[in-house]
Each structure stands twice: as C-alpha cells, then as structure tokens.
Chain A
Amino acid sequence: MREDFFLGIDIGSVSTNVVLIDKNGEVIESMYLRTQGKPIEVLQKALATLYEKYGDSLRIKGVGTTGSGRHLASLVVGADIVKNEITAHAKAAIFFVPDVRTIIEIGGQDSKIILIKDRIVIDFAMNTICAAGTGSFLDRQAERLNIPIEKFGETAIKSQNPVRIAGRCAVFAESDMIHKQQLGHRCEDILFGLCLALARNYLANLAKGKSLESPILFQGGVAANIAMKKAFEQLLGTQIIVPKYYNVMGAIGIALLAKERTKGLITKFRGFENINGCKFETKGFECHDCSNYCEVVGFYSNGSLVARWGDRCQKYSSNRNYHIENSKNL
C-alpha cells in the first residue's frame, strides 16, 4: 500500500504536533507531544515513531511547518511551506466547519481570535504583552493546587458557586487567587473562577470591539478543558463547538496548505532516514562589528552550517537569491 500522504508539523512553545493526512484531507495519524524546550529532539522522535509504524509504505508528497518553531523545523525536515499559525488554524477550521465565523484559539503561550467571513479571514488578534490568558498559566495554577491538568476540567465543572478572581494580569490573578484560597473557598469553585477570569480576560483583551458571530469554534490545547468551554458559553451566551482534532488543528491546517502548495511539484522533504540519522545543533554568538550587537544564530546539521539568521546587516545570513527563488514570474 503506497499512497500519497502529507505531513503537517506544528511546533509550539508547549506542544509539538505532527499529523499525517491523506489526499482527501482525512487524518490518518495525529501526535500530540510535549516540546519541553527541545523541539528538534521531540520532532525527530515523532518522525522516528511514524517511520517505525509505517515503514516504507509511507510516501510523503508534501510537508509543512507552522508554530513558533516553524523555521527551525523547516530546516530539519525540508518543508515545502512555512506558514504562521494563524493562517494554519483558520485553514483547518474552515476545512472542518466551512461556515465558521469565529475561532477562539488558546495555546500554551499565546491566544488568538480569528474572525472569518465567506471562508476568508477578515480580522485577527493575538495577545501582545500579557500571557494571563493562556494554557501555561492554567497549568501552573493547577500545579499549585496539586491537581493534574487533565483533571482540571472535570473538577472545575462541578462548581456551583464560582469565586470571582481578577484576571487582568497573571501576577494579580495569582495573588488574588491565593487570597481566595486562604479564605477557605472550595477547590472547584476556585478552579472554575479561574476559568471564568481567563475567559473574561480573553474577551476583554482580544475580542475588544469585535463582534463574535456563531458558529464559534474553540481550539488549541486549552479546549480539552471542558470547564473553559463552559465558561465561554456562559459569558457569550451561545453554543461553542470544540472540533474533534482541537489540539492539532494547526498541524492539520499546515498539512492541508502543503497539499495545496505541492500540487504537481516534487516535495523538498528530506526523507525519514536522513532526518533521524542526523545530528542538529544551534550555536549563537554576538557580533561586535558595529554597535548594533546583533545576536547571530547558526544552525548546523552533522557539523556543517545550514543557515544563519539574526543579523541586521545580512553579513552572515541570506546568501540565497530570494527573488529568483520566490519570483512568481519564473
């Protein structure tokens, strides 16, 4: 069985997701792994698992990378398309729910809102300065209360009488929460109060001045938390849909984009053997040739330099000819 498959890789701050889709967009395999600050190793491990499972029967026709580690990942695997996570998320959401109007996406380090009309993105926003409304914050608070993050939603949803917690800023929220604990509130009330605070913070910071039309999709790692879904439903007063592959939507989106991009072209994918057997390394230094003091980063594969970036004057990076590579006329 040698079919055509497309690989989508989403390297985020907290999770690394890899999905495999076939030519109809059907999800064959999806992996959700913790990045733990080692994106390359985790990615290599994920690809090794895929290779063990399918072996040579897997014929990859296109690869795409997204997420904050997308450029690194694209160098590791040889990607056909490198796109931001906002476009990728919107792509996947439109694929599964064609008439979607609003996407609420909360990940590990950032949260986004994407507004869609007639299947195109018309507006978006991403948190800029504060991470009070994200998964990592919930994770940390759950840890402090000694509740495994997987149990967070189940526990919180039991709440009858949620505590009001200030959600404007992560620092204020945390100290406010500790005060409420010391008053002896029940654990589930505090947890659901936290969910409500987070949802309020999200709506106040990102959705300010925007009208949220239904159907509303809720995706990203935090969508696993049923209490968060309930909190949003309570505040918005409408039904919210959590799609089946809520936590790997970015990877699915980029796989779909890779499928579009590679139509009739040969993939740049380097092959499983080449990736798994390779040793990748990143080394950085501060350039002191002028007073910009840029931090130049070099990426090495098996000891040989693959790419460099970070310099303002392009002394080290970009020896490639951009226009010849990217020109639409050629």
Chain B
Amino acid sequence: MRKITFPHMGNLFVIAKALFEELGFEVVVPPYNNKSALEIGKRLSPEFICLPFKLNMGNFIQAIEMGADTIVIFGGCGPCRFGYYGALEKEILKDLGYDVEMIVIEPLFYGLRNFLEQVSKIFARKNIASILKRVYRLAKKVDGIERKVHFLRPREMVKGSVDKIYERFRKEALKVYGIDQMERLVDTTNVLLDNLYIVNEKVRKIGIVGEIYTIIDSFSSLNIEKILGEMGCEVERNLYISQWIDTHLIYPIFRKKDTIVKRYSKGIMPVLIGGHARETISYAIYFAAQKYDGILHIFPLTCMPEIIAKSVLNGIKNQIGVPIMHVVVDEIDSDVGIKTRLEAFLDLIEARSEKVERGLLSWD
C-alpha cells in the first residue's frame, strides 16, 4: 500500500490527512515545520529560492525517513515559481537517490487528460463526490477554529489558554483517523474555545495580506499572528486553506472570481501577474475600507509578485489611508527583530488613532 505524504502549510495536514485516510491510504505526516526541516531544505535547495520551497524539501526528506513513498503536491501556472516546485523537487529527490513517486496535480487548464491521469493515482474506486464534499466541510470548520483563535487571543482572560487548546488540537489531529473522527475533534475543540472566559478590552484590528504560504504557515511567518494576539490585536487575513480551495479549485471551474478581488483590483491591477499580488492589493484596500487599524504585508524574500504588490501599495498609500508595514521573511531564527518592528507599528497606530479621534489627522 502507498504511504502518502505532502508538504506542510499551516493546518493543511489536518485536512489532507483525513482525506487520504478516507481514500484508504496510509499517511505519513512530516514533523511540523521546524528548524531542522529548514536546515535540510536550505542544504538541498537552490540558493535564491523562496522560503516555502526550502520548507517543502525539508518536509519531504523528513517524511521519507519516516517511511513515505509517495508525495502529493499541487502544481500551478502563471509567473510565480510555485508552478515549477513539483518538477524541481522531483529532480532534486531523484538526484539524491530517493525512490519515491511524485504526484503533481496540475490545474485543469493544462488539459483534462493529464489532470485525470494524476488524480486517478490517488482517487481509486471510491465515492469521490461525497468524500470531497465532506473534506470541504472539514476545511471550512478547521479554518473556523483558526478564526476563532484569532478572535480570542487578545481577549482571553488567562493568558495562553487559547494557545494551549490550539496546540492540543494540532497534536491530537495527528492521532485521529479519517474525516469523521477529525470532525469530532474539531467540534470538541470548538466547545473548549467557546467556554473560555474573555475580557472586553479595546482590541485593535490588524489585517494580514501577502504571499499565501507565508501567511498561512505560522512557522514561516515567525508566529506573527500569535505575537500580535499577545500584544492585544485581533488578526484577520485574506487567505485560509478553504479559501484557497475556493479560489483555485472551485471558482475556476465555474469561471467566477472572488468578489472582493473583482471589486477592488479594478483600475489598479486588472490582469493577473501571477502569485497573489492582485489579492494582496485588493484585500489591503478592502481591509482599509472595513476600518482596520493597520495592515501587515508578509512575503518571502525574492517573491516577485509580492515585490510588485509592495510597490503598488506604496503608490496608493494615500488612497488606503491606513498604516502598512511590510515584513520580509527568510531563514530568520530569532523573533526579537520582528517583535521590535511590530511593537513600533502598534505604537504608531496608537498615536495615530488618538489624533484621528480628536480629528487632527493629516496623513502625509
């Protein structure tokens, strides 16, 4: 029987594990993204590749050592390097002499036949439609937990209680089997979170935009969401895993576009330039329109679409009217520098909002 593995990306492992188990495979979940995964990835990857690639390599090697023999990864197209990941990783693993099969699922516009050929390796003789429906529901629920965590962190009465429940959820998720059990775990976690005591503090709202992997995966973003939560900020970001399923797997089939992107990218970036530059820009404007206090833009070093987004955001700073901070992440081992910048950013927001309340603001 195949032993399937996949790269980490935030809570993706919860959903992917349940899905593959339901399809009757044995699943090897690599250890969470950590320093040693990054170390391995750094050694094997091209020098100027972005951080997600290095982490993927680390995940694969660690999973292979744990016995995995099949790797599933999504492909893609467009100018972002992600589309090339699967092919490149395949070659690197081959050069290293690992005997693994790599299943790269390309999007539908690369031809139905190719898609079905790859997909059929995974989905064999099963009631696919019902499984996919349940997985989709699970993905929505898991993201619901993350949203709840973001909401509760700045408001919790006893510091750290939210994270205790959340970490427990991530740990238990490795132990349960299949979609049903996973859903039950999600439900119990929800109950635990709902029963926390909260304090009604004045909470600042920060919107996070940026490159998909680095904002979803907490290791690569240096735990920025948690740090902000502890500093008393509620965090909302534009991408969750279920939204990624929506925008990349479901909308393209029905030829629909994310309504917010459609509305706010008009006149600024009407065409796709690859990656999530358009999403970054539109959601930055959207968050500002929703009266968020600040916007954080996170992306990995050398990420082309996001660098363009950064320049565009600089150009429309006055239109946005909300402070924006850009955070570039790569192999950074200590979070002290990030904390300093975030703290200064919140001070800026604080000082600024006092002026706004007194009606004295003049924005540059």
Give CA–CA (A112, B330) in the complex, Å: 20
Q: Check A318 against B160 for contact (C-beta < 8 Å).
A: yes
Task: Report the count of interface residues on B (CB-CB < 8 A).
Answer: 47
Across chains A and B, which 9 residue pairs bring their CB atoms closest together, nearest first? Answer: A291-B31, A322-B159, A86-B344, A314-B160, A84-B343, A120-B351, A209-B314, A87-B347, A313-B167
The 8 A CB mask of B296-335 against A (1 = contact, 0 = none) is 0000010000000001001100000001000110100000
Q: Check A323 against B201 for contact (C-beta < 8 Å).
A: yes
Give CA–CA (A87, B339) in the complex, Å: 13
Q: Does A312 contact B (CB under 8 A)?
A: yes
Q: Check B351 against A292 for contact (C-beta < 8 Å).
A: no
Q: Which of B32-40, B82-90, B114-122, B255-263 contacts A (4 or more CB under 8 A)?
A: B32-40
The chain A residue with its CB closest to the CB of B343 is: A84
Taking the closest CB of chain B, its distance from the CB of A89, in whole angstroms, is 10
Q: Check A126 against B341 for contact (C-beta < 8 Å).
A: yes
The 8 A CB mask of A199-217 against B (1 = contact, 0 = none) is 0000000001101000000
The chain B residue with its CB closest to the CB of A114 is: B344
Q: What are 7 A-to-B residue pairs whose CB atoms are below 8 Å?
A: A120-B351, A122-B364, A123-B323, A314-B160, A321-B159, A323-B199, A329-B199
Q: Does A85 contact B (CB under 8 A)?
A: yes
- Which chain B residues have a beta carbon within 8 Å of chain A's beta carbons? 31-32, 34-36, 156-160, 163-164, 167, 171, 199, 201-202, 223, 226, 230, 232, 301, 311, 314-315, 323, 327-328, 330, 336-337, 339-341, 343-345, 347-348, 351-352, 354-355, 360, 362-364
Give CA–CA (A290, B172) in the complex, Å: 12
A290 / chain B contacts, CB cutoff of 8 Å: 32, 167, 171
Q: Check A293 against B347 for contact (C-beta < 8 Å).
A: no
Q: Check A120 against B352 for contact (C-beta < 8 Å).
A: yes
Q: Does A244 contact B (CB under 8 A)?
A: no
Q: Does A83 contact B (CB under 8 A)?
A: yes
B328 / chain A contacts, CB cutoff of 8 Å: 128-129
The chain B residue with its CB closest to the CB of A213 is: B364
Taking the closest CB of chain B, its distance from the CB of A90, in whole angstroms, is 9
Q: Does A51 contact B (CB under 8 A)?
A: no
B351 / chain A contacts, CB cutoff of 8 Å: 120-121
- 13 new A-B contacts at CB < 8 Å, known A322-B230, A323-B156: A68-B337, A84-B343, A123-B323, A123-B364, A128-B327, A209-B314, A291-B34, A318-B159, A321-B159, A322-B160, A323-B157, A323-B158, A328-B201
Q: Check A124 against B340 for contact (C-beta < 8 Å).
A: no
Give CA–CA (A306, B251) in the complex, Å: 54
Taking the closest CB of chain A, its distance from the CB of B333, in whole angstroms, is 9
B199 / chain A contacts, CB cutoff of 8 Å: 323, 327, 329
Taking the closest CB of chain A, its distance from the CB of B160, in whole angstroms, is 4
Known: A122-B352, A312-B223, A321-B158. A68 touches B364 (CB 8 A): no
Q: Does A140 contact B (CB under 8 A)?
A: no
Taking the closest CB of chain B, its distance from the CB of A285, in whole angstroms, is 14
A128 / chain B contacts, CB cutoff of 8 Å: 327-328
Taking the closest CB of chain A, its distance from the CB of B259, in whole angstroms, is 30
Give CA–CA (A123, B311) in the complex, Å: 16
Give CA–CA (A145, B32) in the complex, Å: 48
Residue among A68, A312, A327 facing the most chain B CB atoms (10 A cut-off): A312
Q: Check B167 against A312 for contact (C-beta < 8 Å).
A: yes
Give CA–CA (A115, B323) in the complex, Å: 12
A84 is contacted by which of B160, B330, B344 (Cβ under 8 Å)? B344
Known: A293-B36, A323-B157. A313 touches B348 (CB 8 A): no
Give CA–CA (A117, B339) in the complex, Å: 24
Q: Check A118 against B340 for contact (C-beta < 8 Å).
A: no
Taking the closest CB of chain A, its distance from the CB of B346, in whole angstroms, is 9
